[in-house]
């Protein structure tokens, strides 16, 4: 499924109308019908509905909803919040149809506030068809008063049409006030605001409804973003050949594990094995060799010279050349720590190998202080920052990163020619060519130490199996999130990283089983 901006959606609508030949009123009728069906499927029998419509196309959808609800036996009150004179042609068509059916369409003014409030307090469902995708900045005072009435006085279910009114489509920003919906029914494709805070918190359950826009329109105007789904990388998700051996599925090197942080590198290495890597070697400072060897059983342990304090010594990264021809991917950062000579140490790793490499944790912090070393790299680079690490990379703060997640990730990926995995709720994957994915899997239970180390290992394992980054990265992020969901067997508060690790196998099994079924 694609993920679109407001302009991309307008272009796709226009192309469908002008070149495919499907009239706008047909699309509007199907949109309104989809919302009405979502409402009637939720309720066992008709009740009382309030439909709030603006004078734009979103309002036209609302008039269609009102007509279908009334025909289904609902007691329906329709309110025009806007100007009849400013209605679009398609909206006027359905406004007039409501009036011809004898429906009472009220025009909202300040003097009607008490009447609307009484309706809201008794309605089983309130339909928000006020603004749609076009809003930027604060809403007008009259619209603000209606939105506040809905938020403060509605006792029933609130259903938003396309986008909750007051939420900016492309950013999820709420400049003043926005409808708080229980459900949002959007059309053809999801919009960015359905995945970006704070707008996403106003959407409730999001349903993407088919309104008859042919899939072929994306060949005319291909959206730059997608919702991460197995359809995009399913061809690389295959059952194993009975003739496979450990060398068939790649060899990942995981580098990190300074004193006191061996758990991170051990978790990453074990996650890589769970994700299918045939061989995993973990490189740690020499003094950490024996403690790690006692901790892991399946991975190989390789010691590099240390600085006498349990961290890597300057120049120790040159050792990668000794085994480079045995490796197929590298992951650097879990438990790495900071140390003298770290810039040259990381630059040497980037210089020596053309293998795909994942950078996480303190490897990202080294990079933030020395971004010039990106010019040293030979292979494809994947960065997996959380918002704090992304803030350090961009020289800003976490507030701005969270406010502009998709822009920050996209700009950094394009500027430096790397793949950025900006972790968090709805992780964003930004590729060097400017395209992006938003990941739908995951759980609040994953907000625990060690979860990011698992992701590093999973992505590294898929890269080691020679899956291209455009597929390995979204597959790894999706599997990681799905494992996090499966790990919640009791309270989300109680899940730890090792619980998620145990669900990596079941997550792959579910995806492979789905592949067999389809």
Residues annotated within the binding site for K(+) are 58, 128, 165
Residue ranges of the binding site for AMP: 423-427, 452
Distances from the Cα of 283 to the Cαs of 265, 322, 373, 496, in angstroms? 9, 12, 21, 25
**Nearby residues of 369 by Cβ (< 8 Å), 6 or more positions away:** 343
User: Tokens 């036209």 identify what position?
Assistant: 60
In 3D space, the residue among 186, 139, 227, 165 whose CA is nearest the CA of residue 35 turns out to be 186
- CA pair distance 458, 268, nearest whole angstrom: 8
Q: List beta partners, residue 306.
A: 312
- CA pair distance 275, 286, nearest whole angstrom: 27
- CA pair distance 15, 135, nearest whole angstrom: 22
CA neighbours closer than 13 Å in the CB half-sphere of residue 214:
11
- CA pair distance 126, 161, nearest whole angstrom: 11
- CA pair distance 139, 55, nearest whole angstrom: 14
In 3D space, the residue among 66, 58, 57, 52 whose CA is nearest the CA of residue 142 turns out to be 52
Q: What is the DSSP string of 66-113?
A: HHHHHHTT-EEEEEE-S-GGG--HHHHHHHHHHHHTT--EEEP-GGGH
- CA pair distance 388, 337, nearest whole angstrom: 16
Distances from the Cα of 84 to the Cαs of 32, 77, 93, 99, 359, in angstroms? 19, 17, 12, 13, 57
Residue ranges of the binding site: 57-61, 128, 132-138, 162, 165, 264, 335, 386, 423-427, 452-453
In 3D space, the residue among 517, 516, 518 whose CA is nearest the CA of residue 239 turns out to be 516
- CA pair distance 472, 461, nearest whole angstrom: 9
- CA pair distance 22, 75, nearest whole angstrom: 32
Q: Are 65 and 129 in contact (CB under 8 A)?
A: yes
Residue ranges of the binding site for (6S)-NADPHX: 57-61, 132-138, 162, 264, 335, 386, 453
- CA pair distance 229, 231, nearest whole angstrom: 5
Determine which helix (DSSP H) or strand (DSSP E) holds 301, and give its type and residue range.
strand 300-304
Could you tell me where the DSSP H helices lie in 72-213?
89-100, 113-122, 141-153, 200-203
């Amino acid at each position: 499924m694609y993920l679109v901006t407001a302009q991309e959606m307008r272009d796709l609508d226009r192309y469908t109308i002008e070149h495919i030949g499907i009239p706008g009123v047909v699309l509007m009728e199907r949109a309104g019908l989809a919302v009405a069906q979502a409402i009637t499927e939720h309720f066992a029998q008709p009740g009382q509905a309030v439909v709030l419509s603006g004078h734009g196309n979103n309002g036209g959808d609302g008039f269609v909803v009102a007509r279908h609800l009334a025909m289904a036996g609902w007691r329906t009150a329709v309110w025009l919040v806007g100007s009849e004179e400013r209605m679009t042609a398609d909206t006027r068509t359905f406004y007039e149809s409501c009036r011809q059916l004898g429906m009472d369409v009220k025009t909202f003014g300040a003097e009607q506030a008490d009447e609307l409030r009484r309706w809201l307090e008794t309605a089983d469902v309130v339909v928000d068809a006020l603004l749609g995708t076009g809003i930027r900045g604060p809403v007008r005072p009259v619209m603000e008063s209606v939105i506040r009435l809905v938020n403060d006085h509605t006792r029933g279910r609130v259903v938003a049409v396309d986008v909750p009114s007051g939420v900016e489509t492309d950013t999820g920003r709420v400049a003043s006030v926005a409808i708080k919906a229980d459900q949002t029914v959007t059309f053809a494709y999801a919009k960015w605001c359905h995945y970006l805070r704070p707008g996403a918190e106003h959407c409730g359950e999001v349903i993407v409804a088919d309104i008859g826009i042919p899939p072929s329109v994306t060949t005319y105007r291909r959206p730059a973003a997608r919702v991460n789904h197995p359809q995009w990388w399913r061809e690389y998700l295959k059952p194993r050949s009975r003739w496979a051996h450990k060398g068939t599925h790649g060899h990942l090197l995981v580098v990190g594990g300074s004193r006191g942080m061996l758990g991170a590198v051990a978790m990453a290495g074990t996650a890589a094995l769970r994700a299918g890597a045939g061989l995993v070697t973990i490189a740690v400072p020499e003094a950490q060799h024996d403690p790690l060897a006692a901790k892991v059983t399946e991975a190989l342990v390789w010691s590099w010279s240390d600085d006498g304090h349990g961290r890597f010594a300057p120049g120790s990264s040159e050792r990668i050349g000794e085994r480079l021809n045995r490796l197929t991917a590298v992951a650097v950062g879990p438990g790495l720590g900071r140390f003298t000579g770290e810039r040259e140490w990381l630059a040497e790793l980037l210089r020596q190998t053309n293998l795909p490499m994942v950078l996480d944790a303190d490897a990202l912090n080294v990079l933030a202080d020395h971004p010039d070393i990106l010019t040293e790299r030979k292979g494809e680079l994947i960065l997996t920052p959380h918002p704090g690490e992304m803030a350090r990379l961009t020289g800003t703060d976490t507030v701005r990163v969270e406010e502009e997640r998709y822009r920050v990730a996209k700009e950094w990926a394009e500027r430096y020619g790397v793949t950025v995995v900006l972790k968090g709720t709805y992780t964003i994957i930004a590729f060097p060519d400017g395209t992006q994915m938003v990941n739908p899997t995951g759980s609040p239970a994953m907000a625990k130490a060690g979860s990011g180390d698992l992701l590093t290992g999973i992505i590294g394992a898929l890269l080691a199996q020679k899956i291209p980054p455009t597929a390995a990265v979204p597959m790894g992020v999706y599997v990681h999130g799905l494992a996090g969901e499966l790990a919640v067997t009791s309270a989300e508060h109680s899940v730890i990283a090792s619980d998620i690790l145990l669900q990596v196998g079941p997550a792959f099994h579910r995806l492979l089983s789905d592949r067999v079924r389809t």
